[in-house]
């Protein structure tokens, strides 16, 4: 429960990290543009051939495009609304208690399947581990994947 509160308080820090990331990527783009300019000057001074110029500038341009895409993605993430409503602590405690009960009754395969459905990504180092995933908060949410009957009207027999 402490983690939920800590996460709620740290939502504002995410935008600051994005700004720093964007600044670092823009510095990288500037360095690559300077490198591309140096290759052009080297070609102008006849230090490298036209083929070498094309080869080196193509690599640099690919890197620049990749970094610009990263900046665009981070800018888009920054513009998205950050407010996510966290359920009250009583509900979270109840969910945790029910999950603990259910995990006790499951076999290994069922536990493994459940974890794979909930957890999207795990990253970590020697000091901390970050687990990202989704918790379904709607009880009894059911979607039927079958048609009601075989004569659904899409395909008619002639």
Digit-by-digit pLDDT tens for the chain (158 residues) are 556 566 555 554 455 556 788 888 899 999 999 999 999 999 999 999 999 989 999 999 999 998 998 888 888 877 776 666 777 888 878 888 887 888 888 888 888 887 888 888 888 888 888 888 876 655 554 545 555 555 555 555 54
pLDDT attached to residue 34: 94
Of the residues 36, 57, 79, which one is the last residue of a structural domain? 79
pLDDT attached to residue 136: 63
b/e 5-43 (16+ beta carbons within 10 angstroms → b): eeeeeeeeeeeeeeeeebeebeebbeebeeebeebeeeb
Residues 96 and 62 in one domain: no
Residues 127 and 60 in one domain: no
Residues 59 and 95 in one domain: no
Residues 102 and 69 in one domain: no
Residues 29 and 67 in one domain: yes
Of the residues 79, 114, 145, which one is the last residue of a structural domain? 79
pLDDT attached to residue 150: 56
In which domain, by residue range, is 111 found? 89-133
Residues 11 and 73 in one domain: yes
Total number of domains constituting the chain: 2
pLDDT attached to residue 98: 84
Residues 109 and 58 in one domain: no
Indicate the pTM of the whole model: 0.44
pLDDT attached to residue 36: 92
Residues 98 and 75 in one domain: no
Residues 128 and 61 in one domain: no
CA distance 58 to 64: 10
**How far from 8 is each of 18, 43, 49, 68, CA to CA, in Å?**
17, 55, 57, 30
Residues 16 and 43 in one domain: yes
């Amino acid at each position: 429960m402490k983690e939920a509160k800590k996460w709620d308080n740290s939502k504002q820090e995410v935008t600051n990290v994005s700004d720093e990331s964007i600044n670092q990527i823009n510095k990288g783009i500037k360095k690559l543009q300077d490198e591309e300019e140096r290759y052009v000057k080297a070609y102008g001074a006849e230090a490298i051939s036209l083929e070498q110029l094309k080869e080196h500038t193509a690599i640099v341009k690919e890197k620049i495009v990749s970094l610009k895409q990263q900046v665009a993605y981070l800018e888009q993430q920054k513009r998205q609304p950050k407010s996510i409503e966290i359920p009250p602590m009583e509900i979270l405690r109840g969910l945790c208690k029910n999950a603990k009960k259910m995990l006790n009754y499951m076999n290994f395969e069922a536990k493994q399947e459940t974890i794979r459905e909930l957890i999207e990504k795990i990253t970590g180092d020697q000091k901390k581990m970050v687990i990202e995933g989704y918790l379904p908060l709607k009880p009894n949410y059911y979607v039927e994947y079958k048609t009601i009957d075989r004569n659904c009207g899409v395909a008619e027999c002639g």
